[in-house]
Structure 1
Amino acid sequence: MKTLSKVITLSAILLSLPVLADSTTDALQQAADHHVRSEQNKSRDQFRNPVQTLQFFDVTPKSTVVEISPGGGWYTEILAPLLAAHGTYYAAHFPADSSSDYYKKNLAAFKEKLAADPIYSRVMLTEFAPGNSNAIAPAGSADVVLTFRNLHNWYGQGGDEAMVAIFKDFYKALKPGGVLGVVEHRLPADQTAGDWTKTGYFPEQLTISLAEQAGFELEASSDINANPKDSADHPRGVWSLPPVLRLGEQDKAKYQAIGESDRMTLKFRKPVAQ
């Protein structure tokens, strides 16, 4: 496991944190309002609902949280301030020794982001990729493992078997009673018979089945991130919608009016009795 460390005093971190909140909801909101967040990222809160989503997944300022494939760090800008003083945040990014130019470029950009502000100094950088044997966090250490809009990418690299193995990695990192939080572009049930694997959408029932095969129990689902305007039937799949808008100016107003994708929000629990 690899960690990112910086020489910085705890007092410097605390100075960059919001005023102490009276409740978890307040703490989540203050983290979402933190100065480190870009205005562009904040503008997407209307679709991603980070405060409600993290609360649904039982994330608190004292949690040990693992975020899988954090990408450019959209949720990092919230989780790092939230967990800086009393929690632990593992960002399981692409492997450093990968031969993929895409992986290397994105990991380098993420490291640059972490180096840009003291609030990121306690972020623990670990590794994740389908089939990678490195631990995303010490076994049995995490209160919450989170994945946002990643399942469709992983499924294309090995199907059901690979996905169950990935979920087992998450299971291993969690404490008994820990939560796996999944947010993913939702494929309507009536579209599962078609060639959906290249659309960016993923079947909700398949998600539940694969997680259960890995040992998880579905505790709850939520429509926090639902979007009834999204039919999930677009020429370029989910990437037709914002923020990608892959069709360019073609029907741009139409897709902007729809907004970001309809998403499942699923809360799984690792059973306490092992």
Structure 2
Amino acid sequence: MRRVLALLAVLALPATPVVAQHADHAGHAAAIDPALAAAVADPLREKDRARDKYRKPDETLAFFQVAPTMKVGEYAPGGGWYSRLLGLYLGPKGKLVGLYFDPTTGAFSAEAQKGIREGAAKYPAEVAAWSGQPADRFAAYPLDAVPEREKGTFDRILVMRMMHNLLRWNIADHEIRRMRELLKPDGMIGIEQHRARPDAPFAFTDGSKGYLREADVIKFMEVNGFSFVGRSEANANAADPANWPEGVWTLPPSLSGAKDEADKARLRAIGESDRMTLLFRKRP
């Protein structure tokens, strides 16, 4: 059914190239750049590799059409799982930029604002240490402090499992529009996000449970100046019912609220959340 819905959505779009060139009919990445495959397999990722089966980083980045010579922004890098891989992949020939929340939006306490700015300041050196690449291959800015010269220079920006927070904190429009300013005229945003069922009620899809409806994310991005390029099912998980009362954090890796080891084993057998993987192009 999901494939049928995906096909109907594509057919309803204007007669322009809307399916990513690196996707097959199922939306999976069709070809992996050898440099990306080498980065994914790098021994420096040994501790991160356990989550590859859930996060499919090679298929995801190939679907987002990330090339090793590009300037790529990673929004809200968090614990650095994707940063470590992107540092290996982009460090030799490209540029990786950590894009941090605008701390002045009103969503953050004074302590959180300080942490955001400190995180951005440390990011280049951290990614250099993780990847073994020179620190000048990396940069980072809170979105309120991006230099004017950076606008219109990014090939890609990646927003990984963060849209639910932007919506529940009521800063999504502001942050996405700031990111749009940074992209080149043909630049694209790749979004990976926990996916709710199409008929899920608003109370479950307002961001508070971690899950969003795919149609809502597409509409939101279109309203904010983007054209929908296509979707991938690389990060789909049909075993996730996406209806956990306590939200997505019930599943691995959080296992929040698990009663005992047997319960943890049951949740680990389900795996990480069902996720949409969507690509959008900056609209003129």
Shorter-chain TM-score category?
Answer: 0.7 to 0.9
Residue equivalent to 1:163: 172
Residue equivalent to 2:224: 214
Which of 160, 174, 187 is the matching residue for 1:178? 187
Could you list the per-position Cα deviations for residues 209-252 of structure 1 after superposition, in whole angstroms to 9, with x for gaps in the alignment?
Answer: 11111110001011110000001111321000000001234421
Residue equivalent to 2:110: 99
State whether residues 200 and 238 of structure 1, in contact with CA within 8 Å, keep that contact through their aligned partners in structure 2.
yes
> Mean alpha-carbon deviation: is it higher for 257-266 or for 163-172?
163-172
Could you list the per-position Cα deviations for residues 122-178 of structure 1 after superposition, in whole angstroms to 9, with x for gaps in the alignment?
Answer: 2111114xxxx33388111011010100011111111xxx32232211211111111
TM-score by length of 2: 0.77
Q: CA deviation at 1:115?
A: 6.0
Pairing of 1:5-84 with structure 2 (within 5 A) = 25-39=33-47, 41-84=48-91
Pairing of 1:179-198 with structure 2 (within 5 A) = 179-197=188-206, 198=208
Match of 2:151, as an amino acid?
A
Residue equivalent to 2:6: none
In 1, the alpha carbon distance for the partners of 2:282 and 2:94 equals 20
State whether residues 114 and 120 of structure 1, in contact with CA within 8 Å, keep that contact through their aligned partners in structure 2.
no
TM-score by length of 1: 0.80
The answer on 1:258 being equivalent to 2:270 is yes
State whether residues 90 and 123 of structure 1, in contact with CA within 8 Å, keep that contact through their aligned partners in structure 2.
yes
Distance 1:165 1:101, change over 3 A: closer
What SS does the corresponding residue of 1:75 show, helix, strand or coil?
A: helix
Residue equivalent to 1:7: none
Which of 233, 249, 256 is the matching residue for 1:239? 249
Pairing of 1:222-237 with structure 2 (within 5 A) = 222-237=232-247
State whether residues 62 and 86 of structure 1, in contact with CA within 8 Å, keep that contact through their aligned partners in structure 2.
yes
Match of 1:182, as an amino acid?
I
State whether residues 67 and 147 of structure 1, in contact with CA within 8 Å, keep that contact through their aligned partners in structure 2.
yes
Q: CA deviation at 1:116?
A: 3.3
Q: CA deviation at 1:24?
A: 5.8
What is the root-mean-square deviation in Å for CA atoms of aligned residues?
Answer: 2.5
Match of 1:70, as an amino acid?
P
What SS does the corresponding residue of 2:185 show, helix, strand or coil?
A: strand
Q: CA deviation at 1:119?
A: 2.3
Distance 1:224 1:241, change over 3 A: same
In 2, the alpha carbon distance for the partners of 1:249 and 1:120 equals 45
Q: CA deviation at 1:27?
A: 0.7
Segments of 5+ residues of structure 2 without an aligned counterpart are 1-30
Distance 1:34 1:102, change over 3 A: farther
In 2, the alpha carbon distance for the partners of 1:176 and 1:135 equals 18
State whether residues 123 and 139 of structure 2, in contact with CA within 8 Å, keep that contact through their aligned partners in structure 1.
no
Distance 1:81 1:263, change over 3 A: same
State whether residues 168 and 214 of structure 1, in contact with CA within 8 Å, keep that contact through their aligned partners in structure 2.
yes
The answer on 1:89 being equivalent to 2:96 is yes
In 2, the alpha carbon distance for the partners of 1:32 and 1:86 equals 16
Identity %: 34
Match of 1:177, as an amino acid?
D
> Mean alpha-carbon deviation: is it higher for 26-35 or for 247-256?
247-256
> Mean alpha-carbon deviation: is it higher for 144-153 or for 198-207?
198-207
In 1, the alpha carbon distance for the partners of 2:250 and 2:80 equals 22
Residue equivalent to 1:8: none
Which of 107, 112, 135 is the matching residue for 2:146? 135
Whichever structure has more helix as a proportion of its residues is 2
Q: CA deviation at 1:33?
A: 1.7
Which of 106, 126, 133 is the matching residue for 1:119? 133
State whether residues 83 and 127 of structure 2, in contact with CA within 8 Å, keep that contact through their aligned partners in structure 1.
no
Residue equivalent to 1:201: 211
In 2, the alpha carbon distance for the partners of 1:110 and 1:65 equals 14
